[in-house]
Structure 1
Amino acid sequence: MSGITYERIPDGRPIADRRTAARRATLHIASENPRPQKSLAIIDGRVLSREHLSWGLLANGLGLHIVNFGSVNDIEDFDASEFSAILVCVDDSRFMDNSIVLEIEELVLRFPNAPVIVQADICGFQQILTVLEHGARGYLPGNAGISVCMEAISMALAGGVFVAAENLTDIQRILGTRRYQSKRGAMFTPREEDVIQVLRLGKANKSIAYTLNLAPNTVKVHVRNILKKLRVTNRSEAIYKINAMYDEVA
């Protein structure tokens, strides 16, 4: 059954510790006119999995209503302001046919104020990067514990982006490389980039011209433009500065 709202109901007795709180946490189906409260939507086609996750989050004091859905289609009829965040649990096969990317784009457009978080067993940095590039605000490994899920939801609600620590270094490196390439692309023309690749080897203009099949005078113009853009006065300074730029993302 989809679109069922759950919330944690205290039983009125004092709670001594978290373990006791978890045992006493109960779930119920909300009335047709529930009182206004922020909600988390969990989309997962596996009934037992999403029920277990709902119980765990509520028992650990999430503080949000939880509304469970079996698919993205089930959430389409809800108002865009209904949810504070959306957690999508993905089967690995969904990455193979690229359907998850389309669904993330759909959710981001449909619920622009609700950050989308993805949880999946597959944690290759290319998959993570693809999901983030299409608007998701977090990526959780399939074996993430409840505390990690809570952290990801909290960070997304605060406007941040959550990536598990074991994947963070790779993601930062890739994003740094892409930012650098974008910045460099705005600075140099494609032909100047070709000249730079050979220039970094310490080659003279004639060697650059031979390697790139260009006229020596053309290479001379390109080198002069490169020096000007780098704000240096000679080739040695240019090579040093270019190598330093490459080292930034090494």
Structure 2
Amino acid sequence: MSGFITFLQRRDYDVETFSSWAQWRRERPSPRRAGTVVLRYLSGPRCRKEIEREVADLAGDGDVALVLLSDTEDVDEILEAIAGGAKGYIPTTLSLDVARGAIDLVRSGGVFIPSGSLLSPYAGKPGDAIGPRQMFTPRQAAVLEAVRHGKANKVIAYELDLKESTVKAHIRNVMRKLGAHNRTELAVRSSYLPGASG
């Protein structure tokens, strides 16, 4: 999050940071300018009602939009967030330039949904065997391959140029998709996928 804030500040965005939603409520700038975006980092899954409450809280501020930044690309979570009134959902796996474009889109009145996360993981021709390329995003597949080779999260993060927290989020998502409960089970289950490398 701090890297993204610095990135925006270097590109002449007016950015203010708050340590919590409570601090934002106490100290939020007044008057709010048109096109103001509140970028909220999700440290864990949030239910639609929580998002709706925060969006309702912002509604009194006029033209203010809520955009969520998250380590997960879970389709259900993305759709729940947008249904709850968020105007954008930015996975931390997106490049900084794409994330900035998402902020610009929301500031101009649009809604940003990461299309790569929403595309069906099972897309393919009828009758195709479902393998790693169809089930996972490219990053998830790369993280899974590294886990299968016994690499630690820190090593995976270094090799794939990701934050360690992002690697953990990818592993959680892949484990959920495969119904695995630990890394060993994940490696075993993934070895049976069509097209998995040995």
TM-score (norm 2): 0.51
Partner of 1:139: 89
**Is 1:68 paired with 2:20?**
no
Please identify the structure whose Cα radius of gyration is greater.
1
Distance (whole Å) between structure 2 residues aligned to residue 98 and residue 121 of structure 1: 20
Deviations 1:106-139 (A, max 9, x none): 23x2333022111111222221111111211110
Deviations 1:180-205 (A, max 9, x none): xxxxxxxxxxxxxxxxxxxxxxxxxx
Given that 1:115 and 1:136 are in contact with CA atoms closer than 8 Å, whether structure 2 keeps it comes out as yes
Given that 2:36 and 2:63 are in contact with CA atoms closer than 8 Å, whether structure 1 keeps it comes out as yes
After the TM superposition, which segments of 4 or more aligned residues of structure 1 sit over 3 Å from their partners?
96-101
Q: 1:157 aligns with which of 102, 107, 123?
A: 107
Counterpart of 1:85 in 2: which secondary structure? strand
**Aligned-pair identity (%):** 20
Deviations 1:178-232 (A, max 9, x none): xxxxxxxxxxxxxxxxxxxxxxxxxxxxxxxxxxxxxxxxxxxxxxxxxxxxxxx
CA drift of 1:85 comes to 1.4
CA drift of 1:100 comes to 4.3
Counterpart of 2:63 in 1: which secondary structure? coil
Unaligned runs of 5+ residues in structure 1 are: 1-48, 171-250
Distance (whole Å) between structure 1 residues aligned to residue 87 and residue 105 of structure 2: 9
Partner of 2:63: 113
Partner of 2:140: none
**Is 1:86 paired with 2:38?**
yes
Given that 1:84 and 1:115 are in contact with CA atoms closer than 8 Å, whether structure 2 keeps it comes out as yes
Counterpart of 2:8 in 1: which secondary structure? helix
CA drift of 1:58 comes to 2.2
Given that 2:87 and 2:112 are in contact with CA atoms closer than 8 Å, whether structure 1 keeps it comes out as yes
Partner of 2:78: 128
Matched pairs, number: 117
Distance (whole Å) between structure 2 residues aligned to residue 80 and residue 169 of structure 1: 39
TM-score (norm 1): 0.42
Distance (whole Å) between structure 1 residues aligned to residue 90 and residue 112 of structure 2: 8
Distance (whole Å) between structure 2 residues aligned to residue 112 and residue 153 of structure 1: 17
Larger relative contact order (CA 8 Å, sep ≥ 6): 2
**Is 1:148 paired with 2:103?**
no
Matches within 5 A, 1:166-181: 166-169=116-119
Unaligned runs of 5+ residues in structure 2 are: 121-198
Given that 1:80 and 1:110 are in contact with CA atoms closer than 8 Å, whether structure 2 keeps it comes out as no
Over the residues paired in the alignment, what is the CA RMSD in angstroms? 2.4
Distance (whole Å) between structure 2 residues aligned to residue 166 and residue 119 of structure 1: 15
CA drift of 1:161 comes to 0.7
